[in-house]
Structure 1
Amino acid sequence: MNIYLVYWNSLNKFCFRGILDESIGEGTHFLIPWVQKPYIFDIKTRPHTFSSISGTKDLQMVNLTLRVLSRPDTAKLPVIVQNLGLEYDEKVLPSIGNEVLKSVVAQFNADQLLTERPQVSALVKETLVRRARDFNILLDDVAITHLSLCWKFVTGGNCQRCLEDAVTRIGSSCRKKEDGRALNSGCYLRHSPHKFYNNSSSNDVAAGNRGHRKMAIILAASSAVLALLLVTATMGFFIRKNVMRKRRERKQFGTLLDTVNKSKLNVPYEILEKATNYFNDDNKLGQGGSGSVYKGVMPDGNTVAVKRLSFNSTQWVDHFFNEVNLISGVHHKNDERRKNTYTSESLRQRFNRDSGMHS
């Protein structure tokens, strides 16, 4: 047997029989381990607060806050636990509180809730105590702590009467004031020698125009920036392409100069011009796909054939060497085994003067 102390009321539960029909009061009691289990209750009065939004008889919305002081019926604790559980008050009171508030508020107009507040509180208390007793809960006090109303929707006649009342008030209380205001049951009246209201329509139009102008400025600026970036990117692309082309041509030109210098081709271009009478058509022997062939007489009296090559593309270096290799590969009894062309200085001068090439 164990001994336990009860400072409030408790229930004993037998594992084989369920909850006992009677509650045990304060004091020292015996407990059979593993057979009995105590449920200890706080039976003191406790406060509960809850709010509810309800509609009045004249269709106005009202926000009410209700405070109740409740405690369980100690004689009915076994029934409470069996039907509602240990958290009985949290399950019952908010539900029946909202129910009672809505039913009572619906019986009154909005102005009656203010003028007849004691009667409303008494009716709420009476109805709520009766409903709580159905769940074996006792209410020691019920009070409406907060009440708020929305502005009443009025008809045209009521609005006119409200406005006339406000005019009377502002005429009596604000006669000597430069800026006067009168508030009467939702009607607001103000007089002043200065303009204190806003023309909402004109303001909206002005705000709309400002918004459109701002959007147009943003779009124009964005378009200008985008166009500038596009032009800059295009110019950069073509400039880079031109630089790369010139760099490639300089590299090819340097390769050609090295080849010419190493090959001991030391006939100046001016000598070839004089030998062919400056490439006179009378000395022209024939026309090929990449240039014309001229007859020439060298200063030493030897007669030679000079082919003047013409190239107008970036592949002129390759064409030039193809022609040289082709000529050097010809074997004929009348062909002199000598490869003649202009020197590197003449080549550089001719290259700078013409995009083509001649030899």
Structure 2
Amino acid sequence: MEFSISIYLYWIWVFLILNSLSNSCIYAKGRTNDAGRLCGSSEYTPLTNFIPNFIVAMDNVQIELSIKNWGASNISAPNPPVFAFAQCFGDLSAPDCRSCFAVARTKLPNCLPSVSARLYLDGCYLRYDNHSFIHETIDEKHDKISCGPPTDFSSDELMRSEFVRKVKEVLSILTAKAVNKGGYAVDEDRGGVEGVFGLAQCWKTLSKDECRNCLLNASAALLDCAPAAEGRAMFAGCYLRYSTDRFFHVEPQQEEENEAPKILAIVSPLRDLLASNRVWIVIAGIFSAIVLGLLALFGVYVGVYCGYRSKKNRVIHEDVSITIQKSNLNFKYEILERATEYFNMSRKLGQGGAGSVFKGILPDGKIVAVKRLFFNTRQWVDEFFNEVNLISGIEHKNLVKLLGCSIEGPESLLVYEFVPNKSLDQILYDKKNTYILSWQQRFDIIAGIAEGLAYLHGGCGLKIIHRDIKSSNILLGDDFIPKIADFGLARSVSADRTHLSTGIAGTLGYMAPEYLVRGQLTEKADVYAFGVLVLEIASGRKNSAFTLGSSSILHSVWKCYKEKKIFESVDPGLKSNFPIEEASNVLQIGLLCTQASVALRPSMSDVVKMLTDEEYGIPSPKQPPFLNASLLNADETRVVSDSPDLEEISSSFSANSSNLYESIVETTEASKPS
């Protein structure tokens, strides 16, 4: 009798194990499968503030979503406006919600440059638009119904009508429950052979009447899916789904109540069978073999199926990813997610053109900086692997060290050494004047950046062109040691090539004129950007691109140089606490580096000598460091036209190429000796 009880308990555990295994893959926690996507037909104009506004709106939504599982944001100034909204379905926990949003945020930008888009995942919803939509309930033009495969009994009229009746009943119950319970409801198995499960979710911005209106219209439309095994209604104001499989999460207590009758239903006949002492050994042996076989088969199924789905969601280049996975560069996405408190905004260190940077604390206590790419389009993935490939093998005191990356999660992440102080632009242009860099600190920063660039241009054994040297890409470490960061746009040039012909990429105000005109990239493009940066650091003023007038530091420093009082360009905040000769030499080097002619600019190795060797002569600049044409906007806007999606940017430059080229020729000819 005692042994019979043991067998009885054994089968209870077998059932529980099987049940938990089956749930492990069915209940994909964040439910991140793509249920429906809509990209608008209207597109934003390149070189506007749409992308910066889009990024800020998404960050604001993320902050709210991390607190209450939904969020809305409205960035209306400067134009164009961006409205954004995200919500997780009511059965998702906070961590699962953050996971779903992370996936949605990487998928939604695939609609860019559309000014509007909606994305329905099986666990959450994300939308952006150029107008307010928070009270929209139905949209006859864009609301969508998605029906699953037909049920096995769809040809049986009696069973078919019974199933349709049950679907209708479920949808009716869901609508009533959701309207009266804050916009969310699930409905369990309605009984019978073919059970029906359902979930209804209204967006939190809707009133009770608006929610009812949306769900009633969604129910009427979704009923057309029956006798399909499942159906989804994806409306402007709500989401409604039914299925013959239970796809949602339930509370643990409710789960136990649902499983108890199933356990008893299996245990009762087993208990009766085990009452016979003559058959228990045979039964136990046969059932054990069957169960072990089923467990093995199910284990293989779970491993293969879930592994396939995980692999399917990766956006990677297979050859590179294998190399990364086998190296010590590979970080698990979950570890970095927890290290940054799920990319909590309180951990945010800064934001660049390609991604946000968060402070992370690894399990061993090490502090790192985690760069989270905004978009997972082909262009941005190329930048990601470009950055990993170029700088993973190089190390210099004036370059930010890459520690590793993550390629297995819903978005691509880069892990860098943590640099304790802010970026150079945050300190240099601090409106509150909480800290003013001394002249010696400025000089050391300029010299450090020069040494880092000289190393990139040949000292590391390769010729690497950064392409985006600017104040926000210079991080300040201990004792304000400068470190060059953000190598997403960098390119490697073989020693036997004079230049690369490539799409325009970089930041207006720092891009060399020959690169803007002809797309010809050499290391002298970095020299030009460095020259602009030198003038900014010394003067404490931000350059305003290629414009004439007092607003341009290039113009004002050149004017002071011609009047033989270049030292007057030094930041007045220093109150004359600087060596005049050294400051004059630094500003003159800045002018040398920003000459319009490529041939007249010095190499970075020569610049290092000018800064560190007092006996090394500093040539006089022969050209003014600006063009005789006001062609470009003064705002610092990151431009990337390597992507086919942004070809309009290149064409906008091409329209002015002839005038720009003529001005370069004019200044070059004027500099030739007579």
TM-based fold match above 0.5: no
Instruction: Report which of the two has the higher share of strand.
Output: 1
Interval containing the TM-score (normalised by the shorter chain): under 0.3
* TM-score normalized with structure 1 length: 0.23
TM-score, normalised on structure 2?
Answer: 0.13
